[in-house]
């Protein structure tokens, strides 16, 4: 993997970024030189992105008291020298020394300075936000808060440098108020706050401006195994089973058992099965109530549909597998969509097996009812839990706030349960018991539809079954690593890539059909085009 692809996976806190920059400066890089480099990169990106539209008028530069303001002033100067109209507003009385120098120079070369944000808004067609960047922790009040509210009420496009002013670098929280940017150009490395659900209404389209931080400095601060990472296309290519050996058979490509569905929620079984089929799993078995068997056969003729005894209300009353078959014959098992709480005895039975197990929907509700921690600590095999915030609170009432502190909460839940925990959301977070957290950086509200999670459960189950059954596979139970030839793939990476694949399919479907046109059944048809594109990229 080349440097740029590695950089895209790295996520840092404010303190980690300070430590990395400290190493760069200690090695001899002048702060002023880095500011020049960053400012020029941003100016180039502005021209590249907006030259044909917003830059026909005046670019307004909002200048803060720190080095974020200095970066903004370099941008102002560079745009001015390229012939664009530029004006600045620096609504503070004190500035850092380097920022003061840039401010004086900007005025000396004829860049107009307005005394108030209100004046700047009246004369500009685009705003560059350089008020506050890395490490802001105090709430914004008074005239600064008023100015930001005025900016947000304007209709001007806004580009924020590093982070929208007012956002907490780590939590993504708006500290009293924050600028709602159209673009956020994060400097050097991705900041944790930009990957939090609560930040999404502020950051707009986010991208990384790489200013060539040495990998050695990143490694020195974060270690060989960073604790937080972004799921990227490159991780997907490295993880997904895109190629198969020329001589193989269906059981070498994974055998997945789905246990799902009821008379009331028959669609859950169908959608989970369609998600699993799209994964490419070699053999798919689906256990449903006996009365649903004809419906599942019609929808998934390639799957082995196992009809089970059912309750009076149409839920699975007991798991009845084919003759000479038991749970150990499967590479992975996914349980939950559409089951209802009446299927508790079946879930209890499956929890006792030694197969890799994915629990979703009513599988999670039943687990919470049984007692999450006491139940999971008795399992020797790997477990993946896929809750949304409400289910998370029922499963882990003492693990933290899955809305306000998603990263901390999911990390704590994985640690105390010894399970991989996938916390669903606009930025799905996946935690391994060892402390590693992956964040899916892209999604779409089009996936906020009933049944979308069922598709993800099937897709993930199929991927894990394939990894488990892959030729020449060995499993290191200490670190839960799947070893395929020269590749080492962790179970949390597989879960993360399933979430990424699922969201990319949603994005692709939304592009074709609009947000309102992406129902869960439609979503299943967009899963294979995503992986087909990955195959083309991976072969280059």
Query: For residue 325, what are the CA distances in angstroms to 320, 329, 330, 458?
Result: 9, 6, 9, 21
Mapping DSSP to helix (H, G, I), strand (E, B) and coil, where does residue 332 land?
A: strand
71 is in an annotated binding site: yes
What is the arrangement of strands in the sheet containing 383-385, beginning at the earlier edge strand?
228-230, 437-439, 429-431, 420-423, 383-385, 356-359, 332-335, 255-259, 283-289, 304-308
CA 51 – CA 516 distance, rounded (Å): 32
Residue 194's contacts (CB-CB under 8 Å, 6 or more residues apart) are 163, 167, 172, 184, 186, 203, 206
Instruction: Indicate the burial class of 379 (C-beta count within 10 angstroms; 0-12, 13-18, 19 or more).
Output: middle
426 is in an annotated binding site: yes
338 is in an annotated binding site: yes
Tokens of 115: 């005394």
135 is in an annotated binding site: yes
223 is in an annotated binding site: no
80 is in an annotated binding site: no
138 is in an annotated binding site: yes
110 is in an annotated binding site: no
CA 393 – CA 387 distance, rounded (Å): 9
Residue 258's contacts (CB-CB under 8 Å, 6 or more residues apart) are 269, 272, 273, 276, 284, 285, 286, 287, 333, 334, 335, 458, 461
67 is in an annotated binding site: yes
* DSSP structure string for 241-309: -----SS--GGGG-EEEEE---STTHHHHHHHHHHHHHTT-SEEEEEEEGGGHHHHHHH-TTSEEEEE-
424 is in an annotated binding site: yes
133 is in an annotated binding site: yes
129 is in an annotated binding site: yes
Give the pairing of strands 190-191 and 283-289.
Answer: unpaired
List phi, psi (to 5°) of 444: -155, 145
199 is in an annotated binding site: no
CA 11 – CA 412 distance, rounded (Å): 19
425 is in an annotated binding site: yes
Give yes or no for a contact between 260 and 336, defined as CB atoms under 8 angstroms apart: yes
511 is in an annotated binding site: no
List phi, psi (to 5°) of 419: -125, 155
134 is in an annotated binding site: yes
502 is in an annotated binding site: no
* DSSP structure string for 76-105: HHHHHHTT-EEEEE---S---HHHHHHHHH
List phi, psi (to 5°) of 172: 75, 5
For tokens 């197990």, the residue is 357
Mapping DSSP to helix (H, G, I), strand (E, B) and coil, where does residue 21 land?
A: helix
**51 CB-side CA count, 13 A:** 9
Phi-psi region of 416 (alpha: psi -120 to 50; beta: other; left: phi over 0): alpha
Give yes or no for a contact between 23 and 217, defined as CB atoms under 8 angstroms apart: yes
Query: For residue 388, what are the CA distances in angstroms to 88, 365, 383?
Result: 45, 11, 16
428 is in an annotated binding site: yes
* Residue ranges of the binding site for AMP: 424-428, 453
* Residue ranges of the binding site for (6S)-NADPHX: 67-71, 133-139, 162, 338, 388, 454
* Residue ranges of the binding site for K(+): 68, 129, 165
* Residue ranges of the binding site: 67-71, 129, 133-139, 162, 165, 338, 388, 424-428, 453-454
């Amino acid at each position: 993997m080349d440097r740029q692809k590695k950089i895209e996976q790295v996520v840092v806190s404010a303190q980690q970024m300070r430590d990395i920059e400290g190493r760069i400066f200690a090695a001899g890089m002048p702060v002023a030189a880095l500011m020049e480099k960053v400012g020029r990169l941003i100016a180039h990106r502005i021209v590249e992105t907006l030259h044909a539209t917003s830059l026909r008028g005046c670019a307004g530069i909002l200048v803060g008291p720190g080095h974020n303001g200095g970066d903004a002033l370099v941008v102002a100067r560079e745009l001015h020298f390229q012939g664009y109209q530029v004006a600045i507003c620096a609504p503070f009385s004190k500035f850092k020394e380097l920022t003061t120098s840039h401010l004086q120079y900007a005025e000396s070369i004829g860049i107009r300075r307005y005394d108030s944000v209100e004046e700047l808004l009246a004369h500009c067609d685009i705003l560059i936000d350089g008020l506050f960047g890395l490490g802001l922790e105090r709430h914004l009040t008074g005239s600064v808060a008023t100015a930001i509210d005025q900016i947000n009420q304007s209709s001007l496009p806004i580009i924020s440098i590093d982070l929208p002013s007012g956002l907490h670098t780590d939590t993504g929280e708006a500290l009293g108020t924050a600028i709602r940017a159209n673009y956020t150009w994060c400097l050097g490395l991705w900041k944790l706050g930009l990957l939090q659900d609560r930040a999404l209404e502020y950051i707009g389209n986010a991208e990384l401006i790489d200013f060539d931080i040495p990998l050695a400095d990143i490694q020195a601060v974060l270690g060989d195994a960073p604790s937080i990472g972004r799921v990227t296309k490159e991780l997907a290519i490295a993880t997904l089973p895109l190629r198969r050996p020329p001589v193989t058979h269906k059981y070498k490509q994974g055998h997945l058992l789905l246990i799902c569905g009821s008379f009331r929620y028959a669609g859950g079984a169908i959608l989970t099965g369609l998600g699993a089929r799209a994964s490419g799993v070699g053999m798919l078995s689906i256990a449903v109530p006996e009365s649903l068997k004809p419906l599942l056969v019609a929808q998934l003729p390639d799957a082995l549909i196992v009809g089970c005894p059912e309750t009076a209300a149409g839920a699975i009353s007991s798991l009845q597998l084919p003759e000479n078959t038991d749970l150990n014959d499967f590479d992975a098992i996914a349980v939950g969509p559409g089951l209802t709480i009446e299927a508790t005895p079946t879930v209890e039975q499956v929890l006792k097996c030694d197969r890799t197990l994915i629990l979703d929907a009513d599988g999670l509700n039943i687990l919470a009812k049984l007692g999450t921690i006491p139940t999971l600590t008795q399992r020797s095999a790997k477990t993946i839990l896929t809750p949304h915030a409400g289910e998370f609170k029922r499963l882990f009432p003492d693990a933290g706030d899955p809305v306000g502190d998603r990263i901390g909460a999911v990390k704590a839940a994985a640690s105390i349960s010894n399970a991989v925990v996938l916390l669903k959301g606009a930025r799905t977070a996946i935690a391994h018991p060892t402390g590693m957290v992956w964040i899916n950086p892209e999604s779409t509200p089009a996936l906020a539809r009933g049944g979308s999670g069922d598709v993800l459960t099937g897709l993930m189950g199929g991927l894990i079954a394939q990894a488990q059954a892959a030729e020449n596979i060995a499993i290191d139970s200490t670190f839960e690593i799947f070893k395929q030839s020269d590749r080492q793939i962790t179970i949390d990476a597989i879960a993360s890539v399933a979430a990424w694949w699922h969201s990319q399919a949603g994005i692709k479907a939304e592009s074709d059909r609009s947000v309102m046109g992406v129902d869960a059944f439609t979503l299943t048809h967009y899963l294979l085009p995503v992986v087909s594109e990955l195959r083309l990229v991976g072969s280059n």
